[in-house]
Homo-oligomer: A and B are copies of this chain.
């Protein structure tokens, strides 16, 4: 079950945040490019096409807010800027495959880390809440 404009607006409403046109426009642009791991500036550039009045700071603030509400997750793919994706808490974790040649980020939809997590918790005394696994290599097209 994925996010929709309506479901996110409902969440904003429940948490007593205002459902402004800017937030809706930004969210819609993000939803329309859900697979692209957009950065703030990329999203700003998309939004600007139809809504040049919206400021970059508003995009940053909206992304911050959605991340705080755990609707989005802030990610780092080592390209010097933060990128975002939907945080589907119910879904299994997925991993990221980062092409070191073209920079494309794709997802791999199996988790398979349970036994490793259990082992680490047992051996290290660390209480694990979350993880993030990135693979670097060459995508189909680049190798």
Tallying the copies of this chain within the complex gives: 2
Least CB distance, A112 to chain B, in whole angstroms? 5
What is the chain B residue whose CB lies nearest that of A126? B97
**B120 pairs with A129, CB closer than 8 A:** no
Say whether A138 contacts B129, CB under 8 Å.
Answer: yes
Q: Quick check: A135 and B130 within 8 Å, CB to CB? A: yes
Q: Is A6 positioned at the interface, with any CB of B under 8 Å from its CB?
A: no
Q: Bound complex: CA of A124 vs CA of B141, how far in Å? A: 12
List the B side residues contacting A119 at CB < 8 Å: 110, 112
| Residue among A100, A129, A135, A143 with the highest chain B CB neighbour number at 10 A | A135
Residues of A participating in the B interface, judged by any CB pair closer than 8 Å:
74, 76, 78, 95, 97, 99-100, 106, 108, 110, 112-113, 116-117, 119-120, 123-140, 143
